[in-house]
Amino acid sequence: MTAPTLFQSPLAVITAGLSGFTGSLQRQDVPVVALDWRPPADGNEALTAILTAVYADPALLEKIEAANREVLSRISDSTPQIVDVLPAHEALGLEGQIITHAGPPIAWQRMCGPQKRAVMGAIQFEGWAASNAEAAALVQSGAVRLAPNHAHYAVGPMTGIISPSMPVLVAHNATFGNYGYSTFNEGRGNTLWFGLFDDGALQRLQWIRDTLAPAVKAALGQHGSLNVFDIVAQGLQMGDECHARSAACTALLIKRLTAPMLEAGVSPAAVAEFVRFADGNNHFFLTWTMAAVKCVMDAAHGVPYSTVVTAMSRNGVDFMLRVSGLGNEWLVAPVAPMDEAVYYTGFSVAEAAGDIGDSAIIETCGLGGMAMAGAPTIAAFVGGTLADEVAAVDSLADITVGRHPKFSLPPMDGQNTPLGVEVLRAVETRTVPFITTGVLHEASPTVGQIGTGVARVPISLFDAALIALAHTWGIATAQPHPTNTVRLEPS
């Protein structure tokens, strides 16, 4: 009796979700194609039931898809421009003794080390206290109030601290008429955004307020409004991804503003200081991008039935996620540990504060992690090669609903960056966005940044967002409405 033809042929196997079986075959030199498959929502019955209900309802699905198209259209049509520089108290409407910060609302007792130190530094910059102890006492007594930047249409990098007399960049969305704000980036060394404060930090803040801000304001008055995305689009062609790396965009900004600054009558000495400072600070353009993206994503927010993420923000303790179709209700969960970072010599995740900063909003607009393949110099964040970066961007395309028409990546043959992180896709595939970011020391008052890398959005936020959306849509679910939420009513 001869063996069936099947058993006379070379064996080739396709596996799906069977990693142990796959490994066994590979060890026996059997050709195997391993499909990266898992059950939707990792088999979570409650989440799967919601997804099934959505996909089985053509009318609801059409409303969702139409809403998401509207969100993408608003993002694509937006024209964010930096139009002015103003004191924060005037631009953000800050009254009395108040400090705003990155991330969701948080009590002083729960704040991470870097953000506490930055708050104390800002209080002393304002002249409300003369020492850290006095500054901390003012916050603990309630004499100085704390509030999230997002409650004031603002964003700040890392600790994200803004105090009333700090100058802020004013971004105007010329298409939709709304505004966004961010501080000037302080650069390296002892700085509030890194959670450090000393006499040098205070002197730098004073120089930013008294010299840099008036010079930039004068340049903008001479130049006219500055289209941020024009510079961003060029920067992407020159090696930036516009979050962890803004070197090219910063160089383009210096080129754009120097002549108008001189023509506006700014002293040559002040112009030289601006050029030297920006030239030595590759993150100088970061906050220009952040202010611009803030006013873009705010314009895309509040579209009923939309499942697209319009903001992400962290404070080193908690992560806050906003979805266009959920209004002013933000989902909150603990931040992920910084275990995917490249640490400086002598440091590790054990010393790191949690993921921090409002700058994660950049990833919602097709930049940062979404554009990582445009910045080969940071390939070490995801494996070390350009191929790793391309694969990372491709994975993000699986959970987004479109591409940004203005942002393209030369290393990916000019493909446009993924745009519109979508809740249903993230829940179903368990793929979450990653954020290109820095890492701050949790405890040290003298050590600031200790590494760079990527941070992942907690999947629990997408699960909670899906459940909240289900309640909004009237889908019957055994899951109660998420309780770990905050409502931010912008002032």
Tokens of 114: 């870097």
Same domain, 331 and 466: yes
Q: Computed over its alpha carbons, how large is the radius of gyration of the chain?
A: 24
Same domain, 398 and 426: yes
Domain boundary among 244, 265, 290: 290
Q: Tell me the residue type at 134.
A: E
**What is the 8-class DSSP label of residue 144?**
S
Same domain, 303 and 215: no
Could you tell me how many helices (H) and strands (E) the chain has, helices first? 16, 19
Same domain, 443 and 370: yes
Same domain, 84 and 171: yes
Q: Is 438 left (phi over 0), alpha (psi -120 to 50) or beta?
A: beta
Same domain, 286 and 434: no
Same domain, 146 and 218: yes
Do residues 477 and 467 touch, judged by C-beta distance below 8 A?
yes
Same domain, 54 and 94: no
Count CB-CB contacts under 10 A for residue 306: 30
Same domain, 312 and 404: yes
Q: Residue 40 in 3-state DSSP?
A: helix
Same domain, 377 and 480: yes
Residue 96's pLDDT is: 96
Rounded Cα–Cα distance for residues 371 and 375 (Å): 8
Angle ∠(387,421,80) on CA atoms, nearest 5: 95
222: domain CATH number? 3.90.1710.10
Rounded Cα–Cα distance for residues 393 and 409 (Å): 10
Q: How many domains does the chain have?
A: 3
Do residues 334 and 169 touch, judged by C-beta distance below 8 A?
no
Q: Is 219 left (phi over 0), alpha (psi -120 to 50) or beta?
A: alpha
| Domain extent at residue 228 | 80-290
Residue 11's pLDDT is: 66
Same domain, 136 and 282: yes
pLDDT by residue for the chain (491 residues), tens only, comes to 555 565 566 666 776 555 566 667 667 677 777 666 678 888 899 999 999 999 999 999 999 999 999 999 999 999 999 999 999 999 999 999 999 999 999 999 999 999 999 999 999 999 999 999 999 999 999 999 999 999 999 999 999 999 999 999 999 999 999 999 999 999 998 999 999 999 999 999 999 999 999 999 999 999 999 999 999 999 999 999 999 999 999 999 999 999 999 999 999 999 999 999 999 999 999 999 999 999 999 999 999 999 999 999 999 999 999 999 999 999 999 998 999 999 999 999 999 999 999 999 999 999 999 999 999 999 999 999 999 999 999 999 999 999 999 999 999 999 999 999 999 999 999 999 999 999 999 999 999 999 999 999 999 999 999 999 999 999 988 899 999 999 998 87
Q: Which helix (H) or strand (E) holds 116?
A: helix 113-125
Same domain, 155 and 275: yes
Domain boundary among 269, 290, 311: 290
Residue 217's pLDDT is: 98
